[in-house]
Structure 1
Amino acid sequence: MPHGNGSATSAVRLIPMLCALTAALHGCGSLVAGTSVPPAPMTPGAIITEAWAYEEDGRWKMEQGGWIHLPANEGAELLLWIEHAEEVCR
């Protein structure tokens, strides 16, 4: 599958911002919630691309825009962290 080379430095900066934004959007911006939510997991395998290609019905499709790609295990850890943060902030 074609993919572009992303910048690891950019990924390191964007992942914490993504996590903070996700938490803030779900009401976790308070000081009380911030003390009970652990730090977001690290995602050293993340890459950022300007497009994403995938195969559907035997044809390649290309989606333009900024994409953050995570290895499955890092994505799973981040998803669990987001779910935990949402529970804490309810």
Structure 2
Amino acid sequence: MKGGVIMEEKLVVHNNLKRLRKTRGIQQKFVAESIGISPNYYCQIENGHRILPTKYLPKIREIFGVTLDEIFFDKDIANCDSNKIA
């Protein structure tokens, strides 16, 4: 089921990118131009048709002001308080 895990991770990433961008009122064009790709390519990433290349992660983190956890994991998991884990 390795392929299924990769697909689920891709879905979380693209959903998180879209959510982060929309909650901050940022346009896709701004994000795309800031990381050096076309707006069409970035749109495909947000829609789950392409995978975000890792070389863009530092700039994405800077734009949204988030951690890698907030990009890669479900919103509830990223906000989990590690002190509450038994």
Instruction: Give me the TM-score of the superposition, normalised by structure 1.
Output: 0.37
Structure with more strand by fraction: 1
Instruction: Give me the TM-score of the superposition, normalised by structure 2.
Output: 0.39
Max Rg structure: 1
Structure with more helix by fraction: 2
